[in-house]
Amino acid sequence: MKKEHKHVKSNKKYGMVIDLDKCTGCGACMVSCMAENNVPFKADESNKLDSITWMRVYKLTNDKPYPDTEICYLPRPCQHCEGQHEGHSPCVSVCPATATDYSMETGIVSQIYTRCFGCRYCMAACPYHARYFNWWDPVWPEGMEESLNPDVSVRMRGIVEKCSFCFHRYQRAMEKAHFEDRHELEENEYQTACTQACPSGAITFGDLNNESHAVYKLKKNPNAFRLLERLGTNPKIYYVSSREWVRLAGDNYRPDEKMTAKHKPAKHAPAKQH
Amino acid sequence: MDSALIPKGVKRCSIGQFALFMGFFGAIALWGVYAMLLCWLKGLNQTNMNDYYGFALWIWADLAVIALGGGAFFSGFLKYIVGKDELKNIINYAVLIGFICYSSALLILAIDIGQPLRGWFIFWHANVHSMLTEVAFCLSCYFGVLTIEYIPLILENRQADKVPFFHKLSHNMHENMAIFAATGAFLSFFHQGSLGGVSGVLFGRPFGYREGLFIWPWTFFLYTWSAAAYGPCFTVLVTKITEKVTGKKLVKDNVIELLLKISGWMLFTYIIAKIIDTWYWASVTAPAAGFSLIDFYSNNPFYGIWILLLEIVIGGIVPALILITEKGRKNKFAMALAIILAVIGVCINRWVMVLQVMAVPVMTFDSWVMYFPSWQEIATTILPVAYGVLLIGISYRYLPIFPQEIELNPIEEDTVADKDAEGDVVVGENLVEATEEG
Amino acid sequence: MKIDRRSFLSLGIGAGAGIALTPLPWKLADDSSIWTQMWPWTPVPARGEATYVNSACSLCPGSCGISVRKIDERAVKIEGMEGHPVNDGGVCPIGIAGLQLLYGQTRVKTPLKRVGKRGEGKWQKISWDEAISEVSSNLAELRKSGNPQSLACISGSGRYGTVSGLFQRFMTAFGSPNFMSVPSFVDGYSMALKQMHGIDSIPGFDFENSDFILSFGSGIIDGWGAPVRMFKANANMKGKIVQIEPRLSNTAAKADKWIPIKPGTEAALALGLAHVIIKKSLYNKDFISKHSFGFDDMTGTDGKKVKGFKSLVMEKYTPASVARITDTSAEMIEELAVSFAKASSPLAVCGRGKGTAQGSLDEYIAVHALNALLGRVNTKGGVWAVEQPNYISWPYPDMDKIAEKGFASARIDGAGTDEFPLAGQLAHRFVNAVADAGRKEIPVEALLIEGANPLHQFSDTKAVKKAFSKIKFIASFSSYMDDSAQFADIILPNHCYLERYEDIPAPAGLQKPVIGISRPVVAPKYNTLHSGDAIIRIAKALGDKIESSFSWDSYEACLQATFREAWSKLDSVGFLINQKYGAPGWDQFETESKLFEFISSADGAKTGRDKDEIVNIADIEGKGDKKYNLTLISYDSIRLASGSVGNTPFMIKAVADTILKENDIFVEINPKTAKDAGVKEGAKAVLTTPKGSANVRVHLFEGIVPGVIAMPRGLGHTGDDKYLSGKGVNVHDLIGPVEDPASGLDAAWGIRAKLAKA
């Protein structure tokens, strides 16, 4: 491997490759994300339609009857869609107050909490349900505010929030790098909280444009796919699964095209036989 | 008591009856205001909206009232630009209905946003690429235009008109109304369109997404078109209801028929365009995202193919066919049916383009989510209706909204006086005189 | 000046226009937006210097190393400790959310004395001096009346560590043998190791070097053993994992193969596999011939013929009969046995779910025998009998006459008696002995609860509560107002685990001896006291010889003295590990025959075993009762903390809506079972077992054997905060213990049940 990599400045594209074969659905990513990002909690969080979980782990099944049932967990952070032309993600393009933005420097879709006025158009636009609204005032019972992370601002009622790829960690790493008179980050200097927490090592995070980063190679895995690619959202989260039914679950297929889905690898039997 | 404020030559119900009427709808409005305050003070947790339904009843109500209020810009366009002069006999009412619809829409938007105090960020930090920004700008501007169009009407009140300045102002405003009507039509073309664009640009939501021309999805044009087509139907419907309630004929049939004829042809052409759009979407756009039409209308407890038929056939083709035929327009029952179906049709269209867009699962492992509004949402949605009734009540009573009313309802002066005299007319007249002196 | 209407109007309009042109409205708009961005009730976390403190997590027996990020004196994030032998940087959700225990609403902030009725929640704040003297005076009474053995202690702190060591020492010096740890599968497995290897040891599993894991219901990635280590081992597994379990758990879902099986028949399947392996001569001949005893038939000293393991297995456990017992197929058994035996380093593991139930001895013996058959004991990639941590070398406590007499009396739970010679502790027997005792003969008068939550953790909570209500004096040392602390008479709150020192030896299931150290991350937030210090102070207050057995000034002094020169390394590195420790080898058997014993060479009566039966497993409760047509089993999820602490707010947030909806718990049933019971997805139902009934909702799940109901463990707390309390049902309310005839262990894995539409 070459020692000097061609880093085109401001051409980073941070993304993830999540190995669904490794993911056990333990939820460490979810909890780590909550703790890192000061996500609020309320007495009842069983209604998942109003429960803020920037990182949500979905449980997928192959819908086969006993005993051929299979399940697979799929962690879903914000997909940080790039859209068909740079930055034209479903949500960024619709926000009326420029409260969510696509960073050309990092490829991260940001959310400016103090500018969002809570119209929720971005939530309507996001097919991944990665955006969450603060329906309630966030309340930290007395004492519990002590564990709040000062790097992430606490949100207020009435605004939308979502996964930021732990952007504050990027800033922290960049500050350190600048202090040391560097302009580029090492791969391990900037990792998201979920990536760091995953006990199975299922999540790999890095610059998708950087040949020396692990994600660069991993995303080229023939079993890699992204969620709802056909919509043209161009997300930056890649998933890898050796199971065909899981890969097929990543996108919608009409009945007449199921058999010719592009993810159908020659080696594997069709989903039915699983 | 208030006879001095009532336009000359028309008969109005007693003040007691009027107060009862106003009191009833005022109470409903108060209920709505209470719910509104709850939403503002306690936040949107008062609603049944959730992270799957970021847009719900309110956005539907917004889209629907703006479509229904489309009668204002379109009849203005027809009268002042196209030159259909007969429409001057209904334009006042169309403007009033438009004013109500647009002010309601703005109010609902102010409740709907999570941070109302920051609502002005939409202007300050405007993202010009967002359909909602376009909506906000055009909506506010057009509301300004409607206000300008409504002001001369207010100034025509018998007492206001006595003030020379108001008299002249109103006269001058009337003179220049064509300019405002043109501005209004222009603005309306854009905001009706951008409201259509709201769901049409959502390329992450295959149910709402449409391809289009340059940056404008087809829904952009369909919305403008449908507002022009359906808006006048609503104007006529409200006029007819007003006639029923007051027990008087207020607008001549030829005016109504002219408006409905134009509306009918607009509807007819719109529904053809809508069918083509639906067909293209169902056979090209959605399948490209991996969806078959039936995916949007099955596996859920509510949204069946019936809703598509209801919108297009019952709420589109049927009223269009009735309204383009003279027989249909002249038949009272058929005409009433047509305008009711038309109003239902456009409301359904706006409903599916908001609510069904949210309901349809996009990720394969997601599921349909149903929604029923909370009472706070319902109350705040009824609030504009009550407010509209109140404003119509006041406007009808005190302003010469219907130019043909006197001609259509000739009365002898003394019977009016007699009726009023039964009440506390003396005090009332004294009051009026006192104020006049002051 | 006369103000007429016109001038009033123009004044108004003019004023309006004027104000609009001033900066006022713009300033107000700006202010309002700033105000909404900083609502006074929205907290703003203080900035400060960021540091990391290494410690160890003691929330489960996994004992991971953690690295806690601090901002000034606030702990803000728990991360996994890089380079730690257990978890090497990884961390589980329970561990991450630990700060919500430290700063949570459930902390007991000062010693409390009960003033209302038991469990009523009325407390009086008292000082530590008062608390210590309250406990010591109550305990002194017992010694005065000559009944020190009526003091019992339930300890949940890591076994073999100094905290449980101090409590155990206290009990000894006091004069009571009735010390208990929280039940675990290690109880059963260690017993099997004692019988088959002849040594007191703990099981260690060399997953990292195995290429075929055959798991008999162990929740490899559901929280079994040291969870993070297991997650890593699972993710890096090069070979195969086969999961035998009635429910498609996460482990089963991730395994290469899931073998659904009739619940409770795992031991039979293990022996069925042994049958095939023997028949096809696939066993390790070297190990069997040179290092084992009891494989072949033998002649006893009395001249009688005794059947060996081989004969027993060959006679009774043919694939066909095992298939019938287990509801599987003979072909599957043959196939599985062959592929397992032919793997280069296969390993069979057992201990259901998270391994929090004792289980039946015969099941451990059957699975361990399967390992032995292939020579997979004490070898690389196999199961090892790991030496028990023995770094505590305190002199034996000085005992006075009262203590000697009391300590010599039989344990209330019967462990170690002739009836159950191998058992170390039998919590369920303890509970029943107290619960069933007549008014005048209650064997326990005082109970110390340390690091445990028996009112939630023990099975048949109704019996536990009944037993506890008969005990005159209960002292809890809990940091949190949990189910059991709520029921105590006095609470002597321990520091939270992130505020204290504590040695944490023997991470569950680890094949290498590791000692971790929990170090104070932050200073104690409340008026709490380390339980080690508390027991030392109680001992000192009791005086006599008890005091002289506790000569340390403080717990920390005791801890440092215990580790001597190793202390500074332990404190700075965060753990001690014997890197050289490898597979013990086949010469490490201390049985009478000095061999691995399939069949005990010692007197059969001593082990309580019927020699003609290899597996003699008790039926679950309610069997044969026709009104119970279904079987209830509990299942474990890593997203549900089910040890001494329950879920924190973040954790409960991560619980799926198919497990908990508002306060309703879901039980999983096969759609077929649902159809028979006439219930639909999400429907409310009443679940009844011989132990009680509960309102539940049903979740239809294809991944479960028809006829089985699965309920998650860890919910149904009564103590704690609004984030956890009252949510769901504690499965231990519905399942009662079943005594294993061979060992006395609680062998319950389920109970018969019925489900009716609500």
Q: Under an 8 A CB cutoff, do C36 and B438 touch?
A: no
Measured between CA atoms, the residue of chain A closest to residue C39 is A156
How close A115 comes to chain C (CA, Å)?
8
Q: Under an 8 A CB cutoff, do C6 and B163 touch?
A: yes
Containing C28, the helix (H) or strand (E) segment is helix C24-37
User: Chain C contact for A267, CB < 8 A?
Assistant: no
How close A59 comes to chain B (CA, Å)?
8
Q: Under an 8 A CB cutoff, do C654 and A53 touch?
A: yes
Measured between CA atoms, the residue of chain B closest to residue C30 is B118
User: Chain B contact for C36, CB < 8 A?
Assistant: yes
Residue C506, pLDDT score:
86
How close C552 comes to chain A (CA, Å)?
34
Which backbone phi and psi does C560 adopt, to 5 degrees?
Answer: -65, -40
Measured between CA atoms, the residue of chain B closest to residue C4 is B438
Confidence of residue B412 (pLDDT cuts 50, 70, 90): low
Chain A contact set for B43 (CB, 8 A): 135-137, 157-158
Containing B135, the helix (H) or strand (E) segment is helix B131-155
Q: Which residue, C602, C33, C629, C516, is CA-closest to C228?
A: C516
How far is residue B338's CA from residue B321's CA, in Å, rounded to a whole number?
9
Chain C contact set for B115 (CB, 8 A): 36
How close C520 comes to chain A (CA, Å)?
16
Residue B324, pLDDT score:
95
For residue A51, give Cα distances in angstroms to A79, A133, C136: 18, 9, 48
CA-angle at B124, arms to B122 and B126, nearest 5°: 55
Q: Under an 8 A CB cutoff, do A147 and C654 touch?
A: no
| A25 within 8 A of C658, measured Cβ to Cβ | no
Measured between CA atoms, the residue of chain B closest to residue A128 is B363
Q: Does domain C112-184+392-497+531-568 have CATH number 3.40.50.740?
A: yes
Domain that holds residue A172: 14-267
CB nearest to C29's CB, from B115, B120, B163: B120
Q: Under an 8 A CB cutoff, do C71 and A150 touch?
A: yes
CB within 8 Å of B178: residues ≥ 6 apart: B80, B81
Chain A contact set for B115 (CB, 8 A): 116-118, 156, 158-159
Residue C611, pLDDT score:
52
| C620 within 8 A of C738, measured Cβ to Cβ | yes
β strands within C165-251, DSSP E: 179-181, 201-205, 212-218, 240-244
Helix axis angle, B88-112 to B253-280, nearest 10°: 50
Q: Under an 8 A CB cutoff, do A146 and C652 touch?
A: no
**Tally of domains in chain A:** 1
Chain C contact set for A193 (CB, 8 A): 77
Residue ranges in chain C modelled with pLDDT below 50: 1, 604-610
CB nearest to C36's CB, from B118, B165, B438: B118
Chain B contact set for A230 (CB, 8 A): 288-290
Residue B434, pLDDT score:
38
Query: CATH no. for residue B142?
Result: 1.20.1630.10
pLDDT tens string for chain A (274 positions)? Answer: 444 444 445 689 999 999 999 999 999 999 999 999 999 999 999 999 999 999 999 999 998 999 999 999 999 999 999 999 878 999 999 999 999 999 999 999 999 999 999 999 999 999 999 999 999 999 999 999 999 999 999 999 999 999 999 999 999 999 999 999 998 899 999 999 999 999 999 999 999 999 999 999 999 999 999 999 999 999 999 999 999 999 999 999 998 886 555 544 433 333 333 3
Quote the DSSP letter at residue C640: S
Chain C contacts in chain A segment 39-78 (CB below 8 A): 39, 41, 43-48, 51, 53, 57, 59, 61, 63-67, 69-73
Residue B185, pLDDT score:
84
Quote the DSSP letter at residue B151: H
Which position has the higher pLDDT, B22 or A183?
B22
Task: Say if A104 falls within a structural domain.
Answer: yes
Helix, strand, or coil (residue A273): helix
pLDDT tens for each residue of B341-387: 999 999 999 999 999 999 999 999 999 999 999 999 999 999 999 99
**CATH number given to C207-381:** 3.40.228.10
Task: Say if A273 falls within a structural domain.
Answer: no
Q: Under an 8 A CB cutoff, do C33 and B163 touch?
A: no
pLDDT tens for each residue of C14-29: 887 887 778 888 788 7
Number of DSSP helices (H) and strands (E) in chain A, helices first: 6, 10
Query: CATH no. for residue A64?
Result: 3.30.70.20
Q: Write out the two tokens for B282.
A: 């169902």
Burial track C588-614 (b if 16+ CB lie within 10 A, e otherwise): bbebeeebbbbbbbeeeeebbbeeeeb
Q: Under an 8 A CB cutoff, do B118 and C33 touch?
A: yes
Q: Which amino acid is at C542?
A: L
| A154 within 8 A of C43, measured Cβ to Cβ | yes
pLDDT tens for each residue of A108-166: 999 999 999 999 999 999 999 999 999 999 999 999 999 999 999 999 999 999 999 99
Q: Report the pLDDT averaged over residues B235-253.
A: 93
Note the pTM of the prediction, 2 decimals.
Answer: 0.92
Which position has the higher pLDDT, B5 or C342?
C342
Chain B contact set for A131 (CB, 8 A): 51, 54
**CATH number given to C630-757:** 2.40.40.20
Q: Under an 8 A CB cutoff, do B121 and A250 touch?
A: no
Residue C613, pLDDT score:
60
CB nearest to B438's CB, from C5, C29, C36: C5
Domain that holds residue B131: 2-437
CB nearest to B289's CB, from A95, A123, A252: A252
Helices (H), C317-460: 319-326, 330-342, 361-373, 401-408, 427-435, 454-457
pLDDT tens for each residue of C391-428: 999 999 989 999 999 999 999 999 988 888 888 899 99
Q: Report the pLDDT averaged over residues B304-328.
A: 95
Quote the DSSP letter at residue B423: S
How far is residue B386's CA from residue B379's CA, in Å, rounded to a whole number?
10
**Tally of domains in chain B:** 1
Q: Mutating which of B60, B108, B195, B203 best tests the A interface, going by the most A Cβ atoms within 10 A?
A: B203
Quote the DSSP letter at residue C45: P
| C482 within 8 A of C512, measured Cβ to Cβ | no
CB nearest to C44's CB, from A26, A66, A154: A154
Q: Write out the two tokens for C735.
A: 């399942």
Q: Chains contacting C with at least 3 CB pairs below 8 Å?
A: A, B
Q: Under an 8 A CB cutoff, do A230 and B43 touch?
A: no
